[in-house]
Chains A and B, each alone.
Chain A
Amino acid sequence: MLDILVILCMAAGLFFFFGTTVGIIRFPDFYTRTHAAGKGDTLSVMLMLAGLALYNLHHLSLATLLVSGKIGIICVVVFIASPTATHAIMDAGYEAKVRSWSRPGAPKDPDDDGQDNSGEKL
């Protein structure tokens, strides 16, 4: 019973990691790649670690409970750190004015220009 749950968690984690990988390879510019990395990373790592923590609880004792608690703390760290790291990398890219991809044929928004300029002043 527990095994099925573990396999489900791990498989879902692997599936989301696969999606993240394809996103990082295929998306056209730096900003959209950060989207894939920031979201997929968090969920896939949390699912896989949850599966491993559950598997660890096969022999229920104080020691295994402590280990599962530690894995839970890793989950919390990843949950806080992963969006923050994404955000820092993206901020650096925005500051360095990495060229962004826009849809071919899309009208250039005058609004966007104004926002870019206000970003430079910061």
Chain B
Amino acid sequence: MFITVTFILLFILWVLFSGKFDLFHLTLGAISCAMVAKFCSGLLFQEKSRHLGRRLAEAGRFLLYLAWLLVQIVYANFHVIGLALSGRRLRRDLDPHIFHFKTVLRHNFSRFVLANSITLTPGTVTIRIHGDTLYIHAISKKAAGDLANQDSISEMERRVGHVFERHNLCFIADKDDQA
């Protein structure tokens, strides 16, 4: 099942990269994709328990999340440019510090998405993930925002959680709060 999905994904990639549609190249592609899919399908799908339909739903929600993230990236760039071009005010505005917080996300992939999103949003960069603790470098106290608040779940974490971990207890309770 997962091998087939891996094969289809790899074959689409092959056709895109080779750009040739004659029988010879397609056969070569099919053979090599089949070999890779046979041996390496475990790399792409690490958790076999989740259903394929749910993965598709996750992918759709992830695209919506990416749209939100793009807007945040544009904000982040204007923030950096504003700081860089701010003349003598620069040294007054900067107040770099490092803090850490525990995430409630459980899976590695959602933690990875969270860390990369934190890097791309204004004023914060992830230094490392150690277990469930994220070390963040913030450019100023204001930029750290609600990430620095230990007691509540930050907005970005909630969004990532709604994309990937709907079954997680934390987010179910959270949704009830909002409703």
Contact = CB atoms under 8 A, between A and B. Distances in A.
The answer to whether A and B come from one shared complex is yes
Interface of A: 15-16, 19-20, 22-23, 26-29, 31-32, 34-36, 38-40, 42-44, 63, 66, 69-70, 73, 80, 83-84, 86-87, 90-91, 94, 100-104, 106, 109, 112, 115-116, 118-119, 122
A40 B74 CA distance: 9
Nearest to B81: A19
Interface residues of B, number: 35
Contact of A32 (B19, B85, B94, B127): B94
17 contacts: A23-B83, A31-B137, A35-B80, A35-B125, A35-B137, A35-B139, A39-B73, A40-B77, A43-B74, A63-B19, A66-B16, A83-B116, A83-B119, A86-B125, A109-B97, A115-B99, A116-B98
A31 B90 CA distance: 15
Contacts of A39: 73, 76-77, 80, 119-120
The prevalent SS among residues of A at the interface is helix
Interface string B56-90: 00000000000000000110110011011100001
Contacts of A19: 77, 80-81, 84-85
Contacts of A32: 94, 96, 139
Closest 9 interchain pairs by CB?
A19-B81, A23-B84, A83-B119, A22-B84, A83-B116, A39-B76, A66-B19, A91-B128, A94-B127
Interface of B: 16-17, 19, 73-74, 76-77, 80-81, 83-85, 90-92, 94-100, 115-116, 119-120, 123, 125-128, 130, 135, 137, 139
